[in-house]
Structure 1
Amino acid sequence: MMTETEKKAIQNDFKEQMDYDELLNCMRCGFCLPSCPTYIETDQQELYSPRGRIALMKGITDGVIEPDEEVTHSLDLCLGCRACETVCPSGVKYGHLLEDARSIIQSHKKQSVPVKMLRRGIFDELFPNQNRLEHVTSLLGFYQRSGLSKVVRKVGFMNLFPESMATMERVLPEVPKRKEIRERPRYFEHEGERQATCAMFTGCLMDTVFFTTNNATIRLLQKAGCDVLVPENQLCCGALHGHNGELERAKQMAKQNIAAFEHSGADYIVTNAGGCGAFLIEYDHLLADDPEWADRAKNFVSKLKDISAVLVTLEFHKTHRLKLPQQTVTYQDSCHLRNVMHTYEEPRLLLQSIEGIHFEEMEGANTCCGSAGDYNIVEPEMAMQILDHKMEQVVKTDAKTIVTANPGCLLEMKVGIERKHRTGSMRAVHIVDLLLEALDG
């Protein structure tokens, strides 16, 4: 429970730090309501809508609403999918407001020693240090290769965890050995006629747990005629921090990433993870008030593109034959790739160019699957509720392959396949891996 002094301190910080003009920008028209997953899943409770949350933020800023547990829960339950922004006639930057509000509340939150240690371990020690992350994930790889995972499942140890986490453990891809990650070159030469130079943003989990997808991305860029650079000293994009109230740490990470890329001379900075891309492309907003970094951030953002956008720009799908065995394929949008990076036509163009594929558009493909970064871990009940409704739409397409463009979405759809007991008849795959499969096919 918060004391009156703590509540007053939060109200003062809201007044000083929140963008009041942006709060007033919300006209309360309600256009956002049908696009909000938590509003729908809570039987249309206004408290869990974008409009309702903005009203709460404004109320705290005005000093007429106390920042109690109900307010905190409302903000925490938001997926941050930002679908509301795409339908807002006023162009309210809801995502920015949400991150600022969470950051203020987090800075005043009293936490137990175990929680403090866990947050410090994750946000300060693990994700900002790629070497450490490689070491931790290499232990996961050993766990998988040694057969220990089979023993753990057989004795029922995973039953001690929520069902969603137990399922997630089963669907994780095989993690490569640390030596394989360390020995990957930093430069890859183009094939065919040279088209561009690309600097690859490798990410944190993408370059460990999803290492093969990163390699497939590099391979596709080479085939598209690109020289590919993998800059040193880059690290996690900071999205996990930004979404969990750790904005200052996110700013430090943004600066390191910008510095790692700004002398690459690349035409494009390429990402293959919608969640990372959405945070990277707003580095200019994150550092807008920093005179030393504002322009450097803008230059970084100006070159950033998702892999699908780069391939379409270079007409990869027109100059290369892509072929797969006959199958029905559907596509699940990454919320952040669609709503923040505004990339949604390009993945579909690439998929529709593959011979042998019948592309079936899913109803509600643009709505969140329930992954949302670490949301499916911290809010498993709501995440699974959203996922189950998503899988109902997947089944209607009769697709055998679900394609997405973000690691979290990919794992979530794999969990959905498990929950629907369709492991033998349906698969989920990152678009990059499918394109390489089609190119080699």
Structure 2
Amino acid sequence: MTESEKQNIQRDFKERMDEDELLNCMRCGFCLPSCPTYIVSGYKESQSPRGRIALMKAVYDGVLQPDDEFEKSLNLCLGCRACEPVCPSGVNYGHLLEEARDIINQNKKHSLPVRAVRNVVFKQLFPKKSNLINITSLVGFYQKSGLQKAARKIGFMKLFPDHLREMEKILPDVPERKTLKQRSEYFPPKGEKKATVAFFSGCLMDTLFLETNHATIQLLQKAGCEIVIPKTQACCGALHGHSGEKELAKELAKQNIEAFGKNEVDYIITNAGGCGAFLIEYDHLLKDDPQWSERAEKFVAKIKDITSILYELDFHKQFRLSLPEQVVTYQDSCHLRNVMKTSKAPRELLRSIKGVTFTEMENADSCCGSAGIYNIVEPKTSMEILDQKMEKMKKTSATTIVTANPGCFMQMKLGIEREGLKDVKAVHIVDLLLEAAK
């Protein structure tokens, strides 16, 4: 960073960071055992929530310059927010982290390649569904045309870093392009109507994981839900909010509030923990905007995860859920558990399936290392965390790892691939429940 950039960051810290929230941290250390980066770093204070808050406060007070080491400390945080439930002072660490990252990003001049990548990802890809469909279709062509087999056979993939080669192996089969574009905006309930819901279809969930979205719709119908899918909905903005693009996140939030406000519904349903956690904090994101703050609060009040509504509507009692005998364990989505406070419902649904032996994984509530694009930008730390997670998983003797978020699902598949566990599979809970209900 240049001296000018450091001065601007310091100025904005003083103007924008919440001093009361920074002072809320009592330095008690209750967060330390819950922080994956603190543990894998060899217990470095700068890689703990307490340490990062201390660094933020030092920058705020002007006693520390926001240099590259400070930025690195913040960037190495997974943002899993496991520190928040165990904090006796109720520190909103996630809000502090996002604000700090945004301040740094808005005042730092990135290199030309970085600027180009950020422009494509944050402005051209995720906010524009048509572009995401085009990219997804290219992946589908790569898979189905024989290019994938050829690339592997001639060793082309060896040109890429190890973690990207491994990720290429576990990419899901991409749906046909016409399937990505064709879907009704309304689905009636099967049987007696119990609720009217709007479905947040998401970005990756509605392209790479389209079949899981279809399964979600079928489960909601079976549970007695009338479903609307607003056509003008957008990306939730989580990736933007976590990566220092807060203004873009606000634009997407407003688009979603507008889209979902056109229908009178009881709930807005999500099936991705990361998306749901960001959606449910739109009220915080837009708290300083008088034109949108009240609308954001009404929007947030309706957000509910798919497992929560299924559990509340007694889906597991309404249907005789059954699967071939298997040992199942569950990997919590950090944001689903720590932000949306949803952990009981998915477990109860899994326990209700005949043929399933549910085994709780040790530290199932700790991050798997996916964290959005963390496993791409910080592969070393991500894989260290994943390796620890897989050791815990193997102790369960599970043959099925269930998740509730696309990033967790891919990370679990990656862990299975790295460990060579041929008899183990990863599955989104929605897909498993639909299979059990048929």
TM-score, length-normalised on structure 2?
A: 0.99
Measured after TM superposition, the shift of residue 160 of structure 1 is 1.8
Report matched runs for 1:293-308 at 5 Å: 293-308=292-307
Which residue in the other structure is 1:431 paired with? 429
Which residue in the other structure is 2:160 paired with? 161
C-alpha separation in 1, matches of 2:59 and 2:114: 26
Which residue in the other structure is 2:405 paired with? 406
Deviations 1:212-241 (A, max 9, x none): 000000000000011111111111100000
Deviations 1:300-323 (A, max 9, x none): 100000000010111100111110
The answer on whether the counterparts of 1:213 and 1:433 sit within 8 Å (CA) in structure 2 is yes
Verify: 1:146 aligned to 2:145, yes or no. yes
The amino acid that maps onto 1:122 is V
Which residue in the other structure is 2:363 paired with? 364
Deviations 1:237-275 (A, max 9, x none): 000000100000000000001100012111110000000
Measured after TM superposition, the shift of residue 126 of structure 1 is 1.0
C-alpha separation in 2, matches of 1:268 and 1:13: 37
The answer on whether the counterparts of 1:333 and 1:367 sit within 8 Å (CA) in structure 2 is yes
> Which ranges of structure 1 fall in alignment gaps of 5 or more residues?
none
The answer on whether the counterparts of 1:164 and 1:415 sit within 8 Å (CA) in structure 2 is no
Measured after TM superposition, the shift of residue 4 of structure 1 is 2.4
Point out the more displaced range, 257-266 or 402-411.
257-266
Which residue in the other structure is 1:194 paired with? 193
Report matched runs for 1:141-290 at 5 Å: 141-290=140-289
Verify: 1:125 aligned to 2:124, yes or no. yes
Measured after TM superposition, the shift of residue 184 of structure 1 is 1.1
C-alpha separation in 2, matches of 1:110 and 1:362: 43
C-alpha separation in 2, matches of 1:169 and 1:254: 31
C-alpha separation in 2, matches of 1:379 and 1:12: 28
Measured after TM superposition, the shift of residue 6 of structure 1 is 2.0
The answer on whether the counterparts of 1:327 and 1:399 sit within 8 Å (CA) in structure 2 is yes
C-alpha separation in 2, matches of 1:57 and 1:104: 11
> Which ranges of structure 2 fall in alignment gaps of 5 or more residues?
none
Measured after TM superposition, the shift of residue 281 of structure 1 is 0.4
Report matched runs for 1:56-67 at 5 Å: 56-67=55-66
The amino acid that maps onto 2:195 is A
Verify: 1:355 aligned to 2:354, yes or no. yes
Report matched runs for 1:74-153 at 5 Å: 74-153=73-152
Measured after TM superposition, the shift of residue 159 of structure 1 is 1.6
C-alpha separation in 1, matches of 2:14 and 2:167: 41
Measured after TM superposition, the shift of residue 155 of structure 1 is 1.4
The amino acid that maps onto 1:438 is A
User: Partner of 1:235: helix, strand, or coil?
Assistant: coil
C-alpha separation in 2, matches of 1:103 and 1:311: 36
Measured after TM superposition, the shift of residue 3 of structure 1 is 2.7
User: Partner of 2:85: helix, strand, or coil?
Assistant: helix
Which residue in the other structure is 1:332 paired with? 331
The answer on whether the counterparts of 1:274 and 1:306 sit within 8 Å (CA) in structure 2 is yes
The amino acid that maps onto 2:193 is R
User: Partner of 2:197: helix, strand, or coil?
Assistant: strand
Measured after TM superposition, the shift of residue 118 of structure 1 is 1.0
Measured after TM superposition, the shift of residue 349 of structure 1 is 0.5
The percent of aligned pairs where both chains have the same amino acid is 64
Which residue in the other structure is 1:319 paired with? 318
C-alpha separation in 1, matches of 2:154 and 2:220: 44
Deviations 1:319-372 (A, max 9, x none): 111100011000000000000000000000000000000000000000000000
User: Partner of 2:84: helix, strand, or coil?
Assistant: helix
Point out the more displaced range, 127-136 or 156-165.
156-165
C-alpha separation in 2, matches of 1:106 and 1:365: 33
C-alpha separation in 2, matches of 1:110 and 1:159: 32
The amino acid that maps onto 1:31 is F
Measured after TM superposition, the shift of residue 114 of structure 1 is 1.4
The amino acid that maps onto 1:79 is L
Which residue in the other structure is 2:72 paired with? 73
The amino acid that maps onto 1:219 is Q
Instruction: After the TM superposition, list the runs of 4 or more consecutive aligned residues in structure 1 that deviate by more than 4 angstroms.
Output: none
The amino acid that maps onto 1:192 is G
Q: Aligned-residue CA RMSD in angstroms?
A: 0.7
TM-score, length-normalised on structure 1?
A: 0.98
Measured after TM superposition, the shift of residue 162 of structure 1 is 2.0
User: Partner of 1:86: helix, strand, or coil?
Assistant: coil
Deviations 1:192-230 (A, max 9, x none): 111111100000010000000000000000000111111
Measured after TM superposition, the shift of residue 419 of structure 1 is 0.6
Verify: 1:345 aligned to 2:344, yes or no. yes
Measured after TM superposition, the shift of residue 147 of structure 1 is 1.8
The amino acid that maps onto 1:372 is A
C-alpha separation in 1, matches of 2:5 and 2:108: 9
Measured after TM superposition, the shift of residue 17 of structure 1 is 0.4
Point out the more displaced range, 26-35 or 151-160.
151-160
C-alpha separation in 2, matches of 1:131 and 1:374: 21
The amino acid that maps onto 1:428 is A
The amino acid that maps onto 2:267 is Y
